[in-house]
Structure 1
Amino acid sequence: MEKTMFLAIALVTAAPAGAQDFQSTQALDAIVAQFAGKPMGEQGGAIAPIDRRLKLAACIAPQLEWRGENRDAVVVRCMAPAWKIFVPVAAVPRPRAAPPAPMPATTLVRPAVPVKAEPVIKRGDAVTVEAGAEGFSISRQGIAMNDAPPGGRIGIKVDDRQPPVQAIAIEPGRARLPGFAEGS
């Protein structure tokens, strides 16, 4: 919260009074560097400055977040007026896990037999489909079109005039749309 507030103040003070028609890309570079914790050009910082030719509408409070687990880009988003840009970052390499130790030659290894998980949602069950992100969530009731184990794909009919939506089964009577974080 404090970081977002500081970033908003930095943007307002960084742009000259007559330049409020467009967002200052230099100010965005500064807040990206602050968010990443590394200056531009260093490992963990932005690879290059934001293109000065971009004419983004001025934003009072841009929101920043990492893209993915690799943290290879910072997503800078403005809600009003709506725009979003991705700033590539020189991702910090993560240590790789050590390879498993080789097994002794005398060990007999049997191929794993896949165990079919029991479905938590069955065809015809009433299901609540959820989607959301930080700050909002939405849910809708529907009918399961097939059986699905936890984490399995399931078709859910939410509207008689539309094809079923694809969701991921979580628990009995509950599924979420792919691409949305669980527990939002």
Structure 2
Amino acid sequence: MMKDSSRKTARRIASVRWRTSLAIGALWCLSLPVAAAGGAPAGSHIDPSEIDEAVIAFTGAEVGKPGGPRLPSDRRLRLAACAEPLLTEWFGTARSTVQVSCSGPESWRIFIATSPLQGQAARNNVVKRGDALTILIRGRGFSVQQAGEAMESGAAGDWIFVRTSRKAEPLHARIERPGLAVVPAG
């Protein structure tokens, strides 16, 4: 009988200690400045509207308009403030995504999708990865053609990798029109 009551008492004491330590821990966390709790001090995050402004200035189009960002940046973003101007550049050849980055001690980068320009969606679908192509090797006074396959997607005028067979070395070719890629020789 004595053993059961000792166990119950020990459990009660452990429970009280546990609840007390939780309460003290919660008060301690509430009293700490944000930086000491593991985050950055208030105001050291970039305002997502600054990212929107940088992308709008880069693309020349407003949010939701053709060529501009599809949507405004998520207001829940908590990226470190950038001491220097934000860097913007196109990501990929399709020009459908803008890379926004901040260099510095707490560097970061994000990718913002843009709305396609009028006719851009059709332009981007000229050749898709895996499409059958005629690969034309054109030189001074000669041309040779062979069936092949696109290893990348691209639009007319884009340079992509193509191959003539599964085991063949990839070639860098320029898409001339749908179904035709040219490899200049010489």
Normalising by structure 1, what TM-score? 0.42
Q: Which protein is richer in helix relative to its size?
A: 2
Which protein shows a greater Rg? Answer: 2
Q: How high is the TM-score relative to the length of structure 2?
A: 0.41
